[in-house]
Chains A and B, each alone.
Chain A
Amino acid sequence: DEQLVESGGDLVQPGGSLRLSCVVSGLTFRNYAMSWVRQAPGKGLEWVSGITGSGGASYANSVKGRFTISRDNSKSTLYLQMNSLRVEDSAIYYCVTGNSFTYFDYWGQGTRITVSS
Chain B
Amino acid sequence: EIVLTQSPEFQSVTPKAKVTITCRASESIGTSLHWYQQKPDQSPKLLIKYASQSISGVPSRFSGSGSGTDFTLTINSLEVEDVAAYYCHQTSSSPTFGQGTKLDIK
Contact = CB atoms under 8 A, between A and B. Distances in A.
Interface of A is mostly: loop
Contacts of A94: 43-44
B43 A107 contact: yes
Interface residues of B, number: 20
Contacts of B50: 103
Nearest to A58: B94
Contact of A44 (B43, B94, B100): B100
Given A103-B34, A103-B49, A45 B44 contact: yes
Interface string B41-60: 00111100110000100000
Interface in A61-115: 61, 94, 100-105, 107-110
Interface of A: 44-47, 50, 58, 60-61, 94, 100-105, 107-110
14 contacts: A46-B97, A47-B94, A47-B96, A47-B97, A50-B95, A58-B94, A94-B43, A100-B91, A100-B94, A102-B91, A103-B46, A103-B91, A105-B55, A107-B45
